[in-house]
A and B are shown apart, each in its own frame.
Chain A
Amino acid sequence: MESIIKNIEKEIAAFAPTEHAEETGIVRAVGDGIAEIDGLDTAVLSEMVLFDPTFDRTLEDALKDPEPIYGLVLNLEEDGVRTVILGDATRVYEGMLVRRLGRLLSIAVSDAMVGRVVNALGEPVDGKGPIAGTTMRPIEREAYGVIDRAPVNVPLHTGVKAVDAMIPIGRGQRELIIGDRGTGKTAIAIDAILNQKHEPKESRPICIYVAVGQKESKTAKLVAELSEKGAMEYSIIVTAPASASAALQFLAPFAGAAIGEHFMEQGKDALVVYDDLSKQAVAYRQMSLLLRRPPGREAYPGDIFYLHSRLLERAAKLSKEKGGGSLTALPIIETQEGDVSAYIPTNVISITDGQIFLQTHLFNKGMRPAIDVGISVSRVGSSAQTKAMKKVAGKIKLELAQFRELEAFMQFASDLDAETKQRIDAGRRMTEVLKQGRGEPMPFEMEVAIIFAAVNGYFDSFSPEETSAAEAKLHSFLEREAAGVLTAIRESKDIREETEASLREKLDAFVARHKESEESV
C-alpha cells in the first residue's frame, strides 16, 4: 500500500500539463480495421498515431475507458492518411480525434522479456504482470550494412543430425524451412530451440519464436513444452494468433526481429523463428487490399518481396567493433501440394541463405524429420561447421546420393549384384541413422560420434531394419561408457587422433557386445 501511495505522490509531484501544440486529424471513415483520417498533413509513413477516445467525453466517462488506441500510418494521400488500427477497431468512430505521436511504430523491449509471452506490440499476454526496464525500439529499421558485418563462422547447432551434418546453419544465417502442412516444419524449429539447452550458458542464443496466425491452443501447447523442458529460461514467444487483426499478424515478425536486435546489439546471439511468413504475407495482402493498393500476382501487393527481404536482411553476424552479436533467422513457409514455385515460396527462397525442404511422401514413409536432403541446401553454413562435423559429414552426402540413384532398383533386390546390394543397404542404414524423433535434439558431440559410427561401417553388422534401434542403443552406450570421448569432441570441436582411437575402441566394444548378445540368443 505504501509503495502505491509513494508512486502516486511521485507522479503528482512530477506532473506538468501538456504545453506543446499537437497535430491532429479527424476519422473520416472506419471499417475492416482500417481508418481514413482527414488531416495529419505532415504525418510520415510507419508513424504511430493515437485515436483519442477521451477527447469529446466528460472526465467521468473518459476514465471508464481511457485506454488509448494506436494506429499505424500506411498510406499518405492527398487530403489525409489511411491507417491500420492496432487494437480494438470497434472503439474507433467517425469524427474521432487522432493525434500524431511523432515517432515510428516502436515496441518496448527489455532483457526481462526472456521467459515471457508477448504480443506484436511487446505487451505481455501471459498474465505475469508488466515487464520491467523496457526501452522503446522501432520495429522497422534499416538492416546493418556490409562494413558492420562479419562472416558467418560460428555454428548454430539444431540438434537434428540431418541438418547439422548436411545443411549446417551458422549464427547470423537465414535458413528457410519449407514444406506442406503437417510435414514437421515447426518441429525442426522447436528442436533447434530446445537444443540450445546443450550450449554453454555464456554463448547460448536467446531464442525468439514468432507465432503468426496460429491457433492459440498450439502456441499454449508450445509454451508448455518449452517450459517443461527448461527452454523458456532463454526463450521469448511473440504471438499474433489467428484471432488477432491482420495488422498485428503483419507486425509480429518485425517485433520479433526488433527484440532479437536488442540482444544482438549487446553482443549476444539470438535466434528468431518466424512461424510462418506465408500467413504474414496473407495478412499483408488483406491489409493492402483494404488500403486499396493495387493487387499483383496472386493478389499480393507489389511490395510483398520487399516486406520479406527487409525483414530477413536484419539477420546478421556483427563485426567485433559492433560487439560481435548475431541474429539468426529461421523463417518458415508453408507450401500447397509441394508447389515451391508459387509466388511467396520463390521470393523467400531467393532471399534466404539456404533452405530445408520437407516432403510429404518422406513423412508418409516414416522418415522423421522428412527432410529431402537432395534439394535442401545451406549456402553459408558449411564455413561455420566444426572440424569434427566436417570430418564425419563429408561422406554422408555422397553415400546418400549413390543410394538415391540406386533406390529405384530396390524392388529387384534378389537380382542385384553384391556391390549394388551393399550400397543400397548402406544407404538404407544411413537413412535410418538420420531418423530422429520430435523433441529429441542431440548434443553436437553425440551427433558426431553416431555419424562417425555410421560412415565407418560400425552399423554394418546390423540389418537396415535393426539400425534405428541399434542407433538408440549406441546413444545410451556412449552416454554411459564414452563420456570422456564425448567431452573431448565437445571441447576441441574436432576429432583428434587420440580421440578417434578411443572412439573406435568404444565402438568396437559396442559391436562386440552386440555380436555376443546375438550369439547367446
Chain B
Amino acid sequence: MATAPQLARYYAQALTRVAAAPGADGSALAKNLIAHLRATGRMKLLPHIARSLKEAHARQGTLSGVVEVAREEERDTALAEAAAAGVHAKTVAVNPALVRGWRARSAGTLIDRSAKRSLIELYQRITSA
C-alpha cells in the first residue's frame, strides 16, 4: 500500500509525462486531475502532488546548464569550453570567488576548471602529505 507522498509522486510523474507530450494543455490537465481526485476521494493528495510537481520543476531547472566565470572577460571562452565538454548553458554568472577559470553545472554534472578548486586541492594534498 503506497503512502500519500508516494501516491502523489506517481501522480506528479504521470502528469509531467503527459504535459511533456506535444500539444498538451496544462490547464485542462490540471482540471481533469482535480476532477479525478474528487471522484476517487483523494483530494487530500493535492498539496503533496503540488509539492512533487514543484520539486520536478526545480530539478528540470537545474538540468539546464549554468556556467559561472571568475571574470566577465572569460565569458566567451568559458561558454565555448563548457559546450565542448557537453554543458550547453543558457546563463552565465560572474562569481569572483572562483579566482580564475570557470565551472559549469548541468543535469547533476559538474565541470570545475576554476583556480579556486585547484588551489583547494593543492592545499589538501600538501597538508595531508
Contacts and interface: CB of A to CB of B under 8 A. Distances in A.
Interface of A: 7-8, 11-12, 15, 17-25, 38-41, 54, 57-59, 62-63, 66, 68, 78-79, 97, 99, 130
Interface stretch (B16-24, B27-35, B38-46, B102-110): B102-110
Contacts of B124: 66, 68
Contact of A24 (B105, B118, B122): B105
A8 B109 contact: no
Given A24-B109, A59-B116, 19 more contacts: A7-B126, A8-B126, A11-B129, A15-B118, A15-B122, A17-B113, A17-B118, A18-B117, A19-B113, A23-B109, A24-B110, A40-B108, A57-B97, A58-B97, A59-B97, A66-B123, A79-B9, A79-B59, A130-B128
A97 to B, nearest CB: 8
Contact of B129 (A7, A57, A78): A7
Contacts of B128: 130
B86 interface: yes
Interface string B57-98: 001000000000000000000000000011000000000010
A15 B116 CA distance: 13
Contacts, number: 69
17 contacts: A8-B126, A12-B122, A19-B113, A21-B86, A21-B110, A21-B111, A24-B105, A41-B108, A54-B117, A57-B97, A59-B99, A59-B119, A59-B120, A68-B124, A78-B9, A79-B59, A97-B110
A268 to B, nearest CB: 29
A63 B97 CA distance: 12
Contacts of A22: 109-112
Contacts of B115: 17
Nearest to A12: B122
B61 to A, nearest CB: 12
Contact of B120 (A21, A41, A66, A97): A66
Question: DSSP class of B's interface residues: helix, strand, loop or mixed?
Answer: helix
Contacts of A8: 126
A18 B59 CA distance: 25
A23 B109 CA distance: 5
Interface residues of B, number: 29
A17 B97 contact: no
B116 A62 contact: yes
B99 A18 contact: no
Contacts of B113: 17-19
A63 B121 CA distance: 10
A21 to B, nearest CB: 5
B120 A11 contact: no
B50 to A, nearest CB: 16
A18 B85 contact: no
B55 interface: yes
Kindly name the residue among B9, B55, B108 whose own CB sees the greatest number of chain A CB atoms within 10 A: B108
B122 A11 contact: yes
A18 B109 contact: no
A66 to B, nearest CB: 6
A21 B110 CA distance: 6
A63 B120 contact: yes
A454 B2 CA distance: 69
A54 B120 contact: yes
Contacts of A58: 97
A108 B58 CA distance: 39
A25 B105 CA distance: 11
Contacts of A63: 120, 123
A268 B106 CA distance: 49
A21 B85 contact: yes
Contacts of A24: 105, 108-110
Contacts of B123: 63, 66
A79 B55 contact: yes
Contacts of B86: 21
Contacts of A38: 59
Contacts of B111: 20-22
B120 A18 contact: no
A99 B112 CA distance: 12
A66 B59 CA distance: 28
A25 B59 CA distance: 11
A41 B107 CA distance: 10
Given A18-B118, A59-B116, A66-B120, A23 B99 contact: no
A97 B55 CA distance: 17
B122 A25 contact: no
